Amino acid sequence: MADAPVFAAEQAVTVMRPFDGKDRDHEACRCLWVAVIQKAIKDMAYSCQKRSQSTLTPSEREKLHRIYELDAPESFFESPWFEEICLFLELSPSRIRDAVLDRYEGTGPSSVSTPI
């Protein structure tokens, strides 16, 4: 029984070994691209949430403006860039796209009511 914790600790050390060179770069790229997709999903969720409000605060309007300033988050999911990121991550672009767009369909600056 006394050997079991030592064996588990040895396994943990092996698993927690730092990445070397190319592996570290690959993992950093994976983390970055996952964060990009997560941010686009968060932007769509925020837009969807605010769409149902009758009025928005100035900070909410500003945040929505920043989200849609360059392009709508839903356009990202239709872009070749999204396709490439998913292929790099070995994910199904159509599966993610369908799930996100089905959940947040109808978001956008024109569907958010803002006070005059």
pLDDT digits (tens, 9 = 90+) for 39-87: 999 999 998 888 888 899 999 999 999 998 888 888 999 999 999 999 9
Q: How far is CA 56 from CA 30, 34, 49, 105, in A?
A: 36, 30, 11, 20
What is the pLDDT at residue 2?
Answer: 47
Average pLDDT value for residue range 2-11 = 43
Q: What is the mean pLDDT of the chain?
A: 78
pLDDT band at 17 (very low <50, low <70, confident <90, very high): low
| Closest C-alpha to 26, from 112, 89, 113 | 89
Place of tokens 């920043």: 66
DSSP state of 111: G
- DSSP structural state of residue 92: -
Segment 10-25 shows an average pLDDT of 57
What average pLDDT does the segment 18-40 reach? Answer: 85
Pick from 5-9, 88-92, 99-103 the range whose average pLDDT is largest. 88-92
pLDDT score, position 116? 31
Distance CA(92)–CA(65), nearest Å, equals 30
CA 5 from chain center: how many Å?
38
